[in-house]
Structure 1
């Protein structure tokens, strides 16, 4: 599913993990940027992610270690479920960090919320 510069794909892989793949296109200074994230969830973690996204609960989702991280941070929201402000976070090794603020549209939020696990 694609909407407003964000692409979304939700896949259940062979090891029974749920992978949420999000790619984000945005303008940075004078150039066009595209970055992508793959966040792995168990069934329970994915349902918690869906609940936090639906209710606008401030929370972190994803995994990290000393060498790498792929996370999504949902900012607290008090308005109806029209969109959600999130931050996508990725770290490669210790030094390479990428933090991208993103607003997920109602279409992308609905796609995540309607995924059955």
Structure 2
């Protein structure tokens, strides 16, 4: 059975921009853009809610139409690179990784 991704990157970005807000908490924001280096990848940037000023960047790569690999690329606090090993950052990274997987799952009907 062919499980290759059947959706072009531009359509994928649009679908993610529509679906992801439903998974976000109040006060959070995000951007999704195509990864110019890989047609099967998206770059997702999250701005966390709250006064700590965290932002996290992820690469979401479609392994096939059903599975995504998620990589944390960068963490910043108030515009400066910060240690991604802190508990607060780890919790945010886990939550956003889960949201990325949930979004990919919700879009399965489009990507399959």
TM-score by length of 2: 0.41
Say which structure is richer in helix: 2
Higher strand share: 1
- Higher relative contact order by CA 8 Å / sep ≥ 6: 1 or 2? 2
